Structure 1
Amino acid sequence: MKSFSESYKEAGVDVTAGYKAVELMKAHVARTMTKGVMSGIGGFGGLFELDVTGISKPVLVSGTDGVGTKIKIAFLLDRHDTVGIDCVAMCVNDVICCGAKPQFFLDYIACGKNFPEKIAQIVSGVAEGCVQAECALIGGETAEHPGLMPEDEYDLAGFTVGVVDKDKILDPTTQKAGDVMIAIKSSGVHSNGFSLVRKVFSVTEQNLARHQSDLGTTLGDCLLTPTKIYVKAVMSLLDAVNVKSISHITGGGFYENIPRSLPAGLSAKIERNAVQVLPIFDLIAKTGKIPERDMFNTFNMGVGMAVVVDKNDADKAISAIRAAGEEAYVMGELVESDEGVIIC
């Protein structure tokens, strides 16, 4: 007999909708299967056999994050197949900063009401993100929370586990003055600073649908552009040169994130004119009359990852990143200073 409770349904939770959502998402999940997966979705835990071939001292690296208020844009546009990519990106882009390769991912969706087709759309994005990150979606949870949030709203978070050889964990203490900082280009706002974005543009469905000539698209399409997933580019880079540190430029922008991968006594001196700022950030600054210092302290400004290598390895590093399909360029160097970030 299939599980069903009329009383629970009257309280706002329809378990049959959950079963339908699982059936609809199975095809998306199947796209992410890698050789380490030992179980399908639906069990109490996701099983994954870790392949440690060539890894003498395996170290597990975990990361968790969500999509934040960017989800509000998805609500207004009624488009839910991209925020899952953001969720995966925010997690896997963190763990690769120490040199780890993501292995698997789990998601958590909390919703006011389970609309199976919408949940399947969300998971399709998660699956696409996992495919891009070359990791498996081995489980997750969809929780219906009537009374806790409006029926048509949801929140999305995720969790990933990667592995790295202990001897190959990036060591920021090897950095020195004169090392160069390479920018890997972002795809847009990614998934940070959207509370400020929504305030600046007084976001409504009508505003999002308006075509912006300086963006070459509608504001909504630009803002909903998924966060770049840098796994392939970074793995290729690690094989090509000696990478000293990697910073994922997320909330807090340059001033908060770059110092996290710098040792005491060194700062990143960034050439302002070298930074290839994307048009969306110029529009945000102009519309909101936001000082440049605040922009660089809130947004990625067109730089998704900042990588430090020896200056003699810069050209080789940029070539490896570009060969993996991403755009990269030198935006500064390390100097003796305790300021953290110097933009000049």
Structure 2
Amino acid sequence: MASSPPNPYSEAGVDTAAGDLAVELMKSAVRRTHGAEVLGGVGGFAGLFDASALLSYEKPLLASSTDGVGTKVAIAQAIDKHDTIGQDLVGMVVDDIVVVGAKPLFMTDYIACGKVFPERIADIVRGIADGCSATGTALVGGETAEHPGLLGINDYDVAGAATGVVEASRVLGAERVRPGDVVLALASSGLHSNGYSLVRHIVAGAGIGYGDNAADFGATWGEVLLEPTRLYTAPLLRLLERFPDAVHSLSHVTGGGIAANLARVLPRGTWTEVDRSTWSPAPVFRVLADLGDLELTATEGTWNLGIGFLAVVAAEQAAAAAEALTADGIRTWQVGVVGDGTRPAGDFEQGAKGVDGGAVRLVSAYAETD
């Protein structure tokens, strides 16, 4: 009996059978994100989403976002733990959509790797699917691409894109903000997915391995640093439903830190001072800063330092909004008030990422304990 001819694609390093197995392993998790709006199931060339619900909008605006997880994936690869990176991806992508007040509809993902290990890919996608379920987002498609010779055998990167919808009259943004509005801070779960190049630099400089025990935390360094990004979409959508006119703008604290991201959602000519004394950065920030011989203030343009989101809210409803978010599982507190006219002397960050927005600076010293 003649043997099968060699598969030239396999000889080039691409294992299509492993890719098929990965899809089988992730199918059930992906399907759990599908409501009646998703047509066609898993495996099509394109995902189909029934947009009939948009007919109920007077003027529906589609909101889109795309992002990745960054170098945090290097830590997942180092300790061979891949079940949380997917939630990080959803946090970076879907939580950007709610900033404009939009409800997420669907998401797609892309994983590039040096070699497909089916269980590993399935772990990543299950994490994405779990994050999508938590945010009310359908995971309608994705792609896993094997890049031998370009990426190392255990290397991978993840990215995603999502689409949401918001009524045109309900779009949040700087144009809604008024002097006297209160700035609320929503607590982060830790580092989230930004500033990991600095994290990795500090850890390497201290001679620490990701499998080493982190005595301050009762876990390995890798486990501590893989704490997944908190997801804010569902609680914020509930807040917008409960207080439809109170929330004026939202800011997702990602790359650039607190001041730069808040400045993007304040109108030009306004300013605010964020009071550091209202919270204490979590131990992970303090320990890393000490290891790197850095003041916490030196990391403010890199890490979120305990604030994952900011909400600019009408003053008369700010306390009720903070109470509602805290009851919904996200500790929330006031950090500032929006001012206009002449601002105090000193250095402020004004706008960021091409946005000519308001001016923000952090003042006072951080609290020692919350």
Scaled to the shorter chain, the TM-score interval is over 0.9
Report the TM-score, using the length of structure 2 for normalisation. 0.88
Pair 1:122-2:124 in alignment: yes
SS in 1 for 2:169: helix
- Distance (whole Å) between structure 2 residues aligned to residue 5 and residue 335 of structure 1: 71
- CA deviations on 1:3-25 (whole Å, 9 max, x unpaired) are x9711100111111111111111
* Amino acid corresponding to residue 98 of structure 2 in structure 1: I
Q: Which runs of 5+ in 2 are unaligned?
A: 350-358, 364-370
- Quick one: which of 74, 77, 81 aligns to 1:75? 77
Give the alignment of 1:88-107 within 5 angstroms.
88-107=90-109
SS in 2 for 1:142: strand
SS in 1 for 2:34: coil
* Amino acid corresponding to residue 105 of structure 1 in structure 2: M
Pair 1:147-2:166 in alignment: no
Give the alignment of 1:48-197 within 5 angstroms.
48-50=49-51, 51-52=53-54, 54-197=56-199
State whether residues 188 and 222 of structure 1, in contact with CA within 8 Å, keep that contact through their aligned partners in structure 2. Answer: no
Give the alignment of 1:10-49 within 5 angstroms.
10-49=11-50
* Amino acid corresponding to residue 125 of structure 1 in structure 2: G
Deviation at 1:276, TM superposition (A): 3.4
State whether residues 259 and 362 of structure 2, in contact with CA within 8 Å, keep that contact through their aligned partners in structure 1. Answer: no
Residue aligning to 2:267: 263
- CA deviations on 1:30-53 (whole Å, 9 max, x unpaired) are 121122111212111100012226
State whether residues 31 and 42 of structure 2, in contact with CA within 8 Å, keep that contact through their aligned partners in structure 1. Answer: no
- Distance (whole Å) between structure 2 residues aligned to residue 57 and residue 101 of structure 1: 14
Residue aligning to 2:300: 296
Q: What is the percentage of aligned positions where both structures have the same residue?
A: 44
Q: Which runs of 5+ in 1 are unaligned?
A: none
* Amino acid corresponding to residue 305 of structure 2 in structure 1: M
State whether residues 65 and 87 of structure 1, in contact with CA within 8 Å, keep that contact through their aligned partners in structure 2. Answer: yes
- Quick one: which of 237, 255, 267 aligns to 2:239? 237
Give the alignment of 1:254-333 within 5 angstroms.
254-333=258-337
SS in 2 for 1:202: helix
For structure 1, which segment, 126-135 or 216-225, has the greater mean C-alpha deviation from structure 2 after superposition? 216-225
- Distance (whole Å) between structure 1 residues aligned to residue 55 and residue 225 of structure 2: 41
- Quick one: which of 330, 334, 339 aligns to 2:338? 334
Pair 1:250-2:251 in alignment: no
State whether residues 240 and 320 of structure 1, in contact with CA within 8 Å, keep that contact through their aligned partners in structure 2. Answer: no
Cα gap change, 1:159/1:226 in structure 2, threshold over 3 Å: closer, same or farther?
same
- Distance (whole Å) between structure 1 residues aligned to residue 206 and residue 118 of structure 2: 26
- Distance (whole Å) between structure 1 residues aligned to residue 224 and residue 250 of structure 2: 26
SS in 1 for 2:334: strand
- Distance (whole Å) between structure 2 residues aligned to residue 323 and residue 291 of structure 1: 33
Cα gap change, 1:119/1:233 in structure 2, threshold over 3 Å: closer, same or farther?
same
State whether residues 258 and 268 of structure 1, in contact with CA within 8 Å, keep that contact through their aligned partners in structure 2. Answer: no
State whether residues 206 and 291 of structure 2, in contact with CA within 8 Å, keep that contact through their aligned partners in structure 1. Answer: no
For structure 1, which segment, 229-238 or 291-300, has the greater mean C-alpha deviation from structure 2 after superposition? 291-300
Deviation at 1:236, TM superposition (A): 1.1
Deviation at 1:205, TM superposition (A): 10
Q: RMSD of the alignment, in Å? A: 1.8
State whether residues 109 and 157 of structure 1, in contact with CA within 8 Å, keep that contact through their aligned partners in structure 2. Answer: yes
* Amino acid corresponding to residue 328 of structure 1 in structure 2: T
- CA deviations on 1:83-131 (whole Å, 9 max, x unpaired) are 0110111001111000001111100000001111111111111111111
Residue aligning to 1:343: 362
Report the TM-score, using the length of structure 1 for normalisation. 0.95
- CA deviations on 1:111-163 (whole Å, 9 max, x unpaired) are 00111111111111111111111111100000000100101111100000000
- Distance (whole Å) between structure 1 residues aligned to residue 216 and residue 179 of structure 2: 38
Cα gap change, 1:91/1:205 in structure 2, threshold over 3 Å: closer, same or farther?
farther
- Distance (whole Å) between structure 2 residues aligned to residue 293 and residue 28 of structure 1: 41
Deviation at 1:27, TM superposition (A): 1.2
Larger Rg: 2
Deviation at 1:65, TM superposition (A): 0.3
SS in 2 for 1:330: strand
Count how many residue pairs are aligned between Structure 1 and Structure 2.
341
Deviation at 1:285, TM superposition (A): 1.4
* Amino acid corresponding to residue 58 of structure 2 in structure 1: S
State whether residues 76 and 205 of structure 1, in contact with CA within 8 Å, keep that contact through their aligned partners in structure 2. Answer: no
* Amino acid corresponding to residue 324 of structure 1 in structure 2: D
State whether residues 185 and 328 of structure 1, in contact with CA within 8 Å, keep that contact through their aligned partners in structure 2. Answer: yes
Deviation at 1:294, TM superposition (A): 2.6
Higher helix share: 1
* Amino acid corresponding to residue 224 of structure 1 in structure 2: L
State whether residues 104 and 165 of structure 2, in contact with CA within 8 Å, keep that contact through their aligned partners in structure 1. Answer: yes
SS in 2 for 1:209: coil
- CA deviations on 1:320-341 (whole Å, 9 max, x unpaired) are 2123222111111112247521
- Quick one: which of 221, 224, 230 aligns to 1:222? 224
